[in-house]
């Protein structure tokens, strides 16, 4: 399956034209839960045509003060109402000192953080009654690192049995900014836990800095890294194209969806050949 982030900017065209033909749509529950009126009606029309994947923004599993159980219960209600296929979030923090910050900040790669994050994830999973899927975040700088990011992620996944959303663009962007080998990082991930992949474009601000804007076309090196990731995974996983700003004609987005699908299918076909030939 290859999906698209559902945007208000193109909701009507998605519903009433054939310009964009995703297999599923994804929304942030925060923007759609506890609402009514026009946008609730539009979302429900979309749900008649497409399965829903949910990708949250405000859970803040990295918060030192813990998670907000009331909020998680509201998310759970939304997931049930919309029969969401899955719910993913970010391995970051967006709330600290009892204040929401509305962006994704990097958790220090420390044992202390692993312990608190693991507690937070367990609590979320207990309330939701489902396994949480966490995305590797993109980060511009590191507050503190007692270990490499890959070890940090592996330890959290091991302790909590959560699943992983691999954001291929984030890996590319982080490897560029922090000077590591993106392919080696993919190989170090607990790939058996990967349940979802995100693909997106980014903005190179300077020679040293790329910002994960979701506002541009996917560049070839990110497609190459995706091809490598699919080869390492050896199995089918749903993939989402994220495009939040500078949204082009939907036919342009459809071409990107087609390209993602082609890479995925080609990778799975090669795997079939390898199995049948063995």
Of 14 and 105, nearer to another protein (C-beta) is 105
DSSP 61-83: TT-TT---HHHHHHHHHHHHHTT
Contact between residue 30 and residue 59 where contact means Cβ atoms under 8 Å apart: no
Residues 6+ apart with CB under 8 A from 180: 174
Report which of 163, 116, 99 is spatially closest to residue 136, judged by C-alpha positions. Answer: 163
| Residue 205 beta carbon to another protein: minimum distance, rounded to whole angstroms | 8
| Residue 65 beta carbon to another protein: minimum distance, rounded to whole angstroms | 8
Of 51 and 62, nearer to another protein (C-beta) is 62
Q: Distance (Å, rounded) from C-alpha 123 to C-alpha 131? A: 11
Of 143 and 184, nearer to another protein (C-beta) is 143
| Residue 31 beta carbon to another protein: minimum distance, rounded to whole angstroms | 7
CA distances 22 to 6, 167, 181, 247, 256, Å, are 10, 18, 31, 16, 11
Of 139 and 196, nearer to another protein (C-beta) is 139
| Residue 87 beta carbon to another protein: minimum distance, rounded to whole angstroms | 14
Q: Which two tokens stand for residue 69?
A: 């159980």
By CB under 8 A, name the binding residues for another protein. Answer: 30-31, 33-41, 57-59, 62-64, 68, 71, 93, 95-103, 105, 107-108, 110, 112-113, 116, 140-145, 177-178, 208-209, 211
Q: What sign has the CA pseudo-torsion 6, 7, 8, 11?
A: negative
| Residue 230 beta carbon to another protein: minimum distance, rounded to whole angstroms | 31
Of 213 and 229, nearer to another protein (C-beta) is 213
Contact between residue 114 and residue 162 where contact means Cβ atoms under 8 Å apart: no
Q: Distance (Å, rounded) from C-alpha 274 to C-alpha 269? A: 9
| Residue 278 beta carbon to another protein: minimum distance, rounded to whole angstroms | 45
| Residue 195 beta carbon to another protein: minimum distance, rounded to whole angstroms | 24
H or E segment at 172?
helix 168-178
Of 159 and 178, nearer to another protein (C-beta) is 178
Report which of 234, 226, 237 is spatially closest to residue 199, judged by C-alpha positions. Answer: 226
Of 86 and 107, nearer to another protein (C-beta) is 107
């Amino acid at each position: 399956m290859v999906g698209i982030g559902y945007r208000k900017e193109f909701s009507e065209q998605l519903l009433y034209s054939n310009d964009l033909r995703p297999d599923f749509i994804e929304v942030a529950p925060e923007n759609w839960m506890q609402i009514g009126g026009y946008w609730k009606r539009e979302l429900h029309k979309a749900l008649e045509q497409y399965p829903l994947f949910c990708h949250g923004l405000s859970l803040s599993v990295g918060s030192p003060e813990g998670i907000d159980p009331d909020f998680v219960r509201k998310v759970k209600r939304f997931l049930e109402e919309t029969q969401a296929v899955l719910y993913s979030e970010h391995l970051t923090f967006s709330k600290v000192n009892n204040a929401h910050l509305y962006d994704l900040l990097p958790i220090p790669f420390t044992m202390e953080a692993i312990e608190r994050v693991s507690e937070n994830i367990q609590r979320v999973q207990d309330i939701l009654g489902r396994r949480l899927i966490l995305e590797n975040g993109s980060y511009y700088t590191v507050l503190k690192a007692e270990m490499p990011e890959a070890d940090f992620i592996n330890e959290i996944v091991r302790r909590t049995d959560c699943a992983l959303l691999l954001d291929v663009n984030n890996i590319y962007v982080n490897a560029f900014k922090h000077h590591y080998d993106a392919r080696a990082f993919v190989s170090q991930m607990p790939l058996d836990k990967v349940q979802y992949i995100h693909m997106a474009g980014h903005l190179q601000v300077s020679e040293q800095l790329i910002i994960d804007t979701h506002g541009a076309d996917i560049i070839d090196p990110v497609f190459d890294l995706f091809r490598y990731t699919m080869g390492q995974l050896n199995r089918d996983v749903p993939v989402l194209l994220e495009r939040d700003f500078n949204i082009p004609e939907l036919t342009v987005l459809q071409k990107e969806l087609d390209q993602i699908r082609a890479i995925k299918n080609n990778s799975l076909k090669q795997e079939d050949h390898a199995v049948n030939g063995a």
